[in-house]
Structure 1
């Protein structure tokens, strides 16, 4: 622990142009401590883009296509956690098997908050795409304590307007996080011979009834036929509907 006079004297040496290494040797204060004092006592000023939701007249994010996609990813495999000084971290956890989706997630985060840095935290078998901002709860008001399937999830009117105008980006985000495109097969007897038939199908899986409802509502609006495989699985198997999904979503990559 150091008193305030030591802190000020140390920071004064840094302000005079001395290196952290030389100041540390002269004062006996570690470089890590000096760096933390620079943040606490003399914070750097950074010009950041204003939050579109925090102005006198709240508006939508600038890149609504990127936001709709990121919203789908967040509702599927995302979370927002509070940090110190009012900063929040958004994390979208994605499988290492899909590097293209990881890239798309990072690009969407950067588009939604261009002045905030984005990083990738490697975990076993997956990557957490992460970005910090004071405004993630403004942009994703679904944020709250506990898991999503144990609390009410509903879109704000301004979010619904974005989803209505950018539905396929929202669908793509949900599929990229909690969905898949698979190839099923079956056999039939044709002329006494057993033949194998293959057909593609999309699945979306989520524990939240509210998120499933959001997904199926936007499918209905785009003319995509679906069925409930069970209480938490939505299946899209009709040929015309799969063709629509292939045109706008496609397999994971």
Structure 2
């Protein structure tokens, strides 16, 4: 075909050298994108060039990034997130309730505010949405990544992560609550002038099997002046409860609902 003549290939490579994207060159020359990609790959091999995908990883490039968004995303990751990092497959996943479209949007936005370049998409399963961002550099941003479940290994923040959490503690708490927490209404009864009446009160719960992650949560609450208590399961610490009226009101003001 005419568009596959050596002159067309040479023109395509020249346009690519000028910085045009594969898609743009394909459209300009009426050549399939796959063919453009193949020509580029063959040219790199001919020149002995090893291809490295462009990255905007803040730790690798020194690029300033949104610390507030990172504090929130760190909370989401420690709660309901994990990283896949193996040959030809690298991504960060945050799992959300599929009905909580606001949370899904917030997770997507946080990923893009920390690293705008990687693609972000949501994969829906029955009752669940998996928000995914594709780049191997999420392991740089979350050095807590490792084999196995998070509650089976030590989870400690790096000094630079702790500095961000100390600067944006409410965003970190919000991420943890939005992942592994909830706001519920408890009730009890009490005698009022000899009559037993129902009494309702709101409280926050944070539930995580990892002792380290619970301590990160409670340590941040301590710095914020929030009173909390342990609720046990089978005699073991498992839930963190915040029930004092003033503390619940303060968390309401900073965390907001999962929706």
**TM bracket (short chain):** 0.7 to 0.9
Matched, 1:64 2:43: no
Deviation at 1:192, TM superposition (A): 2.5
CA contact (8 A) 1:11 1:38 kept: no
Matched, 1:247 2:250: no
- Which residue is equivalent to 1:25? none
SS state at 2:59 partner: coil
Extract unaligned runs of 5+ from structure 1: 1-9, 21-30
Change in 2 beyond 3 A, CA 1:112/1:186: same
Change in 2 beyond 3 A, CA 1:100/1:191: same
- Which residue is equivalent to 1:126? 128
- Which residue is equivalent to 1:89? 91
CA contact (8 A) 2:97 2:129 kept: yes
Deviation at 1:38, TM superposition (A): 6.1
- Which residue is equivalent to 2:107? 105
TM-score by length of 2: 0.79
Deviation at 1:250, TM superposition (A): 2.8
Alignment partner for residue 229 of structure 2, among 227, 230, 247? Answer: 227
Deviation at 1:195, TM superposition (A): 1.2
Correspondence list, 1:85-234, <5 A: 85=88, 88-230=90-232, 231-234=237-240
TM-score by length of 1: 0.81
Report the aligned-residue RMSD.
2.6
CA distance in 2, matches of 1:111, 1:196: 46
The count of aligned residue pairs is: 228
CA distance in 2, matches of 1:13, 1:204: 64
